[in-house]
Amino acid sequence: MTSRVQGAVALLMLAGVTGLLVTLRISNGATISTMYLMVVLVVAATSRLWIAVATSFAAMLSLNYFFLPPVGTLRIADLHNWVALVAFLAVSLVASNLSAVARTRTDEAVGRRDELARLFDLSRDVLMMTESREALAILARSVALRFDLSFVAVAVPRGNDWDVYDAGPHSIPLDRRQLTTAFAAAQATLEFDAHARTYAGHRTMTVDGHEVRLVPLRVGTKPIGVLAAAGRPVEAGTLDTLAGVVAIAIERAHFLEERKTAELTRQSEQLKTALLASIGHDLRTPLTAIRVAATNITSPDFNADDRLGQRDLILSEVERLTHLFENILEMARLDAGAVAAEARWVHPSEIVAAAREQVEYLLRPHKLNIAIERDVPVRLDPRLTATAIAHLLENAGQYSPPGSAIDVSVRLSTEGLVIEIRDHGPGIPSNDLPHIFERFYRGSSAQARPSGTGMGLWIVRGLLAVEHGRVWAENCADGGARFTAVVPAAAKATESEIADIQ
C-alpha cells in the first residue's frame, strides 16, 4: 500500500469517527478524545511515521472544531480545553513515535531472521555441492537465488587474470583492475568495524548504472578472491558473513577436487599393483612349462610321441598366454569406453558355439550339456555376448573338478536372451558372492584353487553392461554355482509361428 493510499485511509477513518460522534451527539470529552486517539494508534501501527503525525494534527483540529466550544470554529474559549487539546496532541505524537519505532524494530528483526534463513539455506546448498568442475558457477547461482540478488559474481585470481563465475538476471561486466585493487586492499592488515559489523576491504563501484559491492573472500585471514553483488540492499554485516560462507564453499570445492584426484591416483596405483601381481602370478606357470617343454623336445631321451606331447603342452600354454593378454586388452578397452555394441540377427546356438570355441582347451576335461529352448534368431551383439559367455564357461571349467559336467541352458524371456551356466564344483563362499564381479577379486580361498587373474568376471559384467545387460551368481541347493546372464534382445518369429498366428 502506497503512502498516498495510507493517508487517504487515515482521513476516511477520522471522517467516519467524527460523523459517528456527531450523529450520536456524544459530548463527553474523555470518550471523544479516546475515539480519536484510537484512530491515531491504528494509523501509527499500520502506516509511516509522517502519516501518523499528520493524522494526530488532523484529529486535534477535528476535536477543536466539532466538539470544543465555541463549536464550529477553531477558537478555544476555555483554558482547560487548551490544556486538554495540547495533552491530546502530545499523547498522539508520542504514541505515533513509539508505534513507528516498534514497527521498525519488528521489520529489522524479520529482515535479520530472513537473512539468517537465507544463510542457512546457502550453507545447506554448499554441503550438497560435489566436486564438479561447475561447482563455483553453481555456487554463484545459489547465492543469487537465495539472496534474491540481480547480479552475483565469484571472482578467483588466476595468475595475472581472474576466473569470474557470475549469475543472476543481469549481466554486468566487471573491471578486472577494480577486482585487483579490491583484492590487494584485502591483503592489508585485517581490521574489524564494530559499528558496521564488517571487516575491512569492502568497496563499491558503479558499472552501467548498477552499484556493485565488492567484498573480499577470506579463509581465516587469507584472501582467496572477491565477491561482487548488485541488486536489493543487503546489510554490510550480512554481506560479510555471506562472503565467509562463499569462501568456505570455494575451499570445500578445492578440497573435494584434490581428494578426488588423490583417490584416482590411489586407485590407479592399486590397479597397477594388482595387475602386476595377477599377471606375474599367471605368467610364471605357463612360461615355466614352456621352457621345460622346449628343453625336453631337444632331449635325446625323448621319443617321437613324447616330443609330440611336449609340443601340445607348449601350444596349450601359448594359447593360455594369448587368452591372458586378450583379457588385459579387453579390460583396457572397457576402461577407455572403447567397446561399442553392434547388434545383428544371430541364432543363440551360434553364440554358444563361438563361446565354446574360445575356451575349448579348458573344457576338454568336462562334459558340456547344452539345452536351447528356442533357437530362433535374436538381435544383439554376438561378439560381446559370446565373449562374455566364454568367460563364464572358463570360470566354470576352472572351478569345477575334472570329469564333472557343465550345464548350459538358453531361453527367451520378456527381458531378452537368458543364458544360465551351472557347474558342479564346490560353489561360491557366501562372503565372496557380493564381490566376485569386482576387478581382480579371486575369492577368499584363491590359494587353494586354480590360478586366475580375477579379470574374467569383471570383464563379463562390463561387456554385458555395454549391451545394457546384467549378470549375477548364486549357489545351487544341490551343490555347485549358477551364473545367469540376461541380454536385452528382440526375437524373430519363425515361419511356423507366423502361420500359427494367422
Q: What is the pLDDT of residues 151-184, one digit of tens each?
A: 988 888 887 888 888 888 888 888 888 888 888 8
Give the type of residue at 482: R
Question: Count of residues for the chain?
Answer: 502
- For the chain, how far is it from start to end, CA to CA, in angstroms? 77
* pLDDT value for 377: 93
* pLDDT value for 214: 87
Residue 354 — pLDDT band, cuts 50, 70, 90?
very high
pTM: 0.48
SS3 144: helix
Which range among 209-223, 280-294, 303-317 shows the weakest confidence by mean pLDDT? 280-294
* pLDDT value for 501: 40
Q: Say which residue, 475 or 203, is predicted with more confidence.
A: 475
Cβ atoms within 10 Å, residue 390: 25
Q: Beta strand 222-231 with 149-158: parallel, antiparallel or unpaired?
A: antiparallel
- pLDDT at residue 448 tops 60: no
Q: Average pLDDT of the chain?
A: 79
Query: In the chain, pLDDT over 70 holds for what percent of residues?
Result: 84
Phi and psi at residue 422, to the nearest 5°: -120, 130
Q: What is the pLDDT of residues 28-84, one digit of tens each?
A: 777 777 787 888 778 777 777 777 778 878 877 887 778 777 777 777 766 666 776
Residue 13 — pLDDT band, cuts 50, 70, 90?
confident
* pLDDT value for 121: 78
Phi and psi at residue 431, to the nearest 5°: -75, -10
- pLDDT at residue 243 tops 60: yes
> Span 430-441, mean pLDDT?
83
DSSP, res 217: E
* pLDDT value for 483: 95
Residue matched to cell numbers 557366501: 430
The CA radius of gyration of the chain, in Å to the nearest whole number, is 43
Q: Cβ neighbours of residue 424 under 8 Å, at least 6 residues apart?
A: 400, 401, 404, 405, 406, 479, 480
How many angstroms separate the CA atoms of 187 and 258, rounded? 25
- pLDDT at residue 146 tops 90: no
C-alpha cell at 319: 594359447
SS3 414: coil
Q: Say which residue, 70 or 324, is predicted with more confidence.
A: 70
> Span 342-363, mean pLDDT?
90
C-alpha cell at 417: 536372451
Residue 247 — pLDDT band, cuts 50, 70, 90?
confident
C-alpha cell at 275: 595387475
Q: Which domains does the chain have, with CATH numbers?
A: 3-109 (no CATH), 132-258 (3.30.450.40), 261-333 (1.10.287), 339-496 (3.30.565.10)
Burial class, 143, CB count within 10 angstroms (exposed 0-12 / middle 13-18 / buried 19+):
buried
* pLDDT value for 240: 79
Which range among 73-87, 197-211, 216-230 shows the weakest confidence by mean pLDDT? 73-87
- pLDDT at residue 409 tops 90: yes
Which DSSP helix (H) or strand (E) runs through 296? Answer: helix 236-297
* pLDDT value for 407: 94
CA dihedral 74, 75, 78, 83 (to 10 degrees): 60
The answer to whether residues 419 and 384 touch, using CB atoms and an 8 Å cutoff, is no
Phi and psi at residue 105, to the nearest 5°: -65, -35
* pLDDT value for 452: 57
* pLDDT value for 157: 87
- pLDDT at residue 498 tops 50: no
How many angstroms separate the CA atoms of 491 and 404, rounded? 33
> Span 243-272, mean pLDDT?
76
* pLDDT value for 42: 80
Residue 499 — pLDDT band, cuts 50, 70, 90?
very low
> Span 8-12, mean pLDDT?
80
Residue matched to cell numbers 540492499: 233
* pLDDT value for 389: 94
Q: What is the pLDDT of residues 281-296, one digit of tens each?
A: 556 667 777 787 888 7
Query: In the chain, pLDDT over 90 holds for what percent of residues?
Result: 15
- pLDDT at residue 218 tops 80: yes
DSSP, res 175: P
Q: Say which residue, 236 or 364, is predicted with more confidence.
A: 364
The winner for highest mean pLDDT among 200-214, 331-345, 358-372 is 358-372
Which range among 195-209, 289-303, 474-488 shows the weakest confidence by mean pLDDT? 195-209
Which range among 9-23, 109-123, 328-342, 400-414 shows the weakest confidence by mean pLDDT? 328-342
> Span 117-132, mean pLDDT?
75
